[in-house]
Amino acid sequence: MTLDPGLRRAILDAVASLEADSVERLARLVRCSSTLGQEQGALDEMARNFEALGLAPRRVPTDPAALKDHPGFSPPLIPYDGRDNVVAVFTPRGKRGRSLALQGHVDVVPEGAADLWVTPPYEPDVRNGRMYGRGAGDMKAGIVSYLTAFEALRRAGVQPAAEVQMQAVIEEECTGNGALAAMLALPRTDAVIIPEPGPGFAAVYSAEVGVIWAWVTVTGRPTHVREMHAGVNAIEAAGIIAAGFKDYEAEMNRAERVHASFHGVNHPVNVNLGSFEGGEWNSSVPTRARVGLRVGVMVGYPAAQAKADIEALVAKLAADTRLRGTQVKLEFKGFHAEGCVFDMDSEIVRLAKHHYADSAGEELRHYAASGLTDGRFFTLYQDTPTAVFGPDAQDIHGIDESVGLASMHDITRTIALTMAEWCGVEPLAPGAHA
């Protein structure tokens, strides 16, 4: 359907009337320190948000035993007890339109050095039109946008004429298993919107790389530093392994290895030395060191092959004469994710681009991301048209993460208008929360 001009105006007015409420809703979510294993507060807050919309929240567990044979499953880092995903499903009186899933993750990465933040990372602060706080941009503002968009339709006197699923999931930042569990627990929808933050400009994701997480533990031979020539320094050995991965990174960025969807993107495949543990005493040759690595995987290059590459590389490096006398152990935990290409010609993407341009006054540019999102699950394993676009976020995963509030409202308007046109609308049910 093409939106009636009067309805469009009513929806836009409704979004405007909810702006202050949406900022407060975002602040409540940011106050929830939802790092890995600590997501329950944010999940409870999402359950309250769904209830405030008149929807019944449902807990969806992430069960590794049930998911382990799925090609999208990644080896978990910690158990899932007490961290169930939260979803809500709206059902219209008559299903005349096309169904839609609105999905977002509540988990955030660690705040890093909290003393470097201008304001504490979990005390949201608004400065110059931006809200600062860990997770404000990635991606709690996007979640607030889809909640507010649904509320705006009701305030405009209508509701979707098709099923709308709202999913709040865990572990987008390390496995994606929460998204996989929620996707499999609910019926397939006709389209998906995931309001992940943009890359610093208004954008819709056109492609994203895959990712493998690997952990390498090196055990050396400790001695007193006065006899260091007789020992084997595990930290130095781990550094040699890390350097070997940077050589692999350079190889995977050679032009002939880069998928067409990433042409023009500088250095799309990244290998990150993300964590390092090692050593016991400044005057002792260290016994053990552990390196955590994030290895990007180009679209079209199977994640299983990248895993085999990593195994072969670590075996080669372990045989290096400089590592003689060490023991090297390789583990895979966390991401085992394929890259994917999103269909930019799908109707849901075209509608989102149209409504964003119409309401925000600029175009959503196509963005091939050197990171990844939960959008891959719906694209790769359900063949569901998926639009991934979100507000202007800065310094995500860094210090003083922030989101532009005007941009968040732009995304809210876009989702509301797109939902209305995609799903169709029907008059608000008698007694429904408006």
Contacts of 55 (CB under 8 A, 6+ apart): 88, 89, 90, 166
Cα separation, 145 vs 150, in Å, equals 9
CB atoms within 10 A of CB 286: 23
Contacts of 159 (CB under 8 A, 6+ apart): 90, 92, 153, 425, 426, 427, 428, 429, 432
Average pLDDT over residues 414-428: 97
CB crowding 67-100: b at 16 or more within 10 Å, else e? beeeebbbebeeebeebbbbbbbbebeeeebbbb
Of 215, 86, 106, 88, nearest to 171 by C-alpha is 106
Q: What is the pLDDT of residue 94?
A: 84
Average pLDDT over residues 192-196: 98
Q: What is the pLDDT of residue 433?
A: 64
* Phi, psi for 27 (deg, rounded to 5): -60, -40
Per-residue pLDDT of 280-312, as tens digits, reads 999 999 999 999 999 999 999 999 999 999 999
Same domain, 133 and 267: no
Q: What is the pLDDT of residue 313?
A: 97
Same domain, 19 and 70: yes
* Phi, psi for 79 (deg, rounded to 5): -65, 165
List beta partners, residue 293. Answer: 214, 273
Cα separation, 217 vs 5, in Å, equals 62
Say if 10 falls within a structural domain: yes
Same domain, 329 and 346: no
Burial label for 171, CB within 10 Å (0-12, 13-18, 19+), is buried
Same domain, 169 and 280: no
Task: Indicate the helix (H) or strand (E) that contains 8.
Answer: helix 5-17
Strand intervals (E) in 55-175: 58-60, 85-90, 100-105, 125-127, 130-132, 158-160, 164-169
Same domain, 107 and 165: yes
Cα separation, 289 vs 216, in Å, equals 8
Q: Are 106 and 140 in contact (CB under 8 A)?
A: yes
Give yes or no for residue 431 having a pLDDT over 90.
no
Same domain, 201 and 260: no
Per-residue pLDDT of 91-135, as tens digits, reads 999 888 999 999 999 999 999 999 999 999 999 999 999 999 999
Same domain, 167 and 131: yes
Average pLDDT over residues 6-28: 98
Say if 241 falls within a structural domain: yes
Give yes or no for residue 38 having a pLDDT over 70.
yes
| CATH for 127 | 3.40.630.10
Say if 100 falls within a structural domain: yes
Q: What is the pLDDT of residue 367?
A: 97
Residue type, 259: H
Task: Indicate the helix (H) or strand (E) that contains 47.
Answer: helix 40-52
Give yes or no for residue 193 having a pLDDT over 70.
yes
* Phi, psi for 312 (deg, rounded to 5): -65, -40
CB atoms within 10 A of CB 140: 34
Same domain, 185 and 108: yes
Of 24, 429, 415, nearest to 191 by C-alpha is 415
Cα separation, 5 vs 13, in Å, equals 12
Cα separation, 276 vs 357, in Å, equals 44
Q: What is the pLDDT of residue 229?
A: 82
Give yes or no for residue 1 having a pLDDT over 90.
no
Angle between helices 141-155 and 405-423 (to 10 degrees): 50
Per-residue pLDDT of 330-368, as tens digits, reads 999 999 999 999 999 999 999 999 999 999 999 999 999
Say if 434 falls within a structural domain: no
Give yes or no for residue 243 having a pLDDT over 90.
yes
| CATH for 242 | 3.30.70.360
Cα separation, 12 vs 200, in Å, equals 24
Q: Are 328 and 367 in contact (CB under 8 A)?
A: no
Where is the domain boundary, 336, 351, 380? 336
Q: In this prediction, what percent of the chain has a pLDDT beyond 70?
A: 99
pTM score, whole prediction:
0.96
Same domain, 134 and 282: no
Say if 300 falls within a structural domain: yes
Cα separation, 194 vs 227, in Å, equals 57
The domain total for the chain is 2
Same domain, 173 and 218: no
Q: What is the pLDDT of residue 434?
A: 64
Give yes or no for residue 222 having a pLDDT over 90.
no
Q: In this prediction, what percent of the chain has a pLDDT beyond 90?
A: 94
Say if 165 falls within a structural domain: yes
The C-alpha angle 75, 78, 84, rounded to 5 degrees, equals 95
Say if 432 falls within a structural domain: no
Per-residue pLDDT of 372-408, as tens digits, reads 999 999 999 999 999 999 999 999 999 999 999 999 9
The strand pair at 58-60 and 85-90 is best described as: antiparallel
Q: Which domain holds residue 155?
A: 5-208+339-427
Where is the domain boundary, 284, 309, 336? 336
Where is the domain boundary, 283, 308, 336? 336
Structure tokens given for 325 = 């006398």
Cα separation, 109 vs 138, in Å, equals 9
Cα-based distances in Å from 318 to 32, 244, 289, 321, 322: 43, 11, 14, 8, 9
CB crowding 103-124: b at 16 or more within 10 Å, else e? bbbbbbbebeeeeebeeebbeb
Lowest mean pLDDT among 49-58, 174-183, 229-238: 229-238
Say if 433 falls within a structural domain: no
Q: Are 172 and 376 in contact (CB under 8 A)?
A: no
Residue type, 352: A
Same domain, 119 and 189: yes
Cα separation, 132 vs 82, in Å, equals 28
Kindly report the average pLDDT of the chain as a whole number.
Answer: 96
Q: What is the pLDDT of residue 198?
A: 86
Same domain, 71 and 202: yes
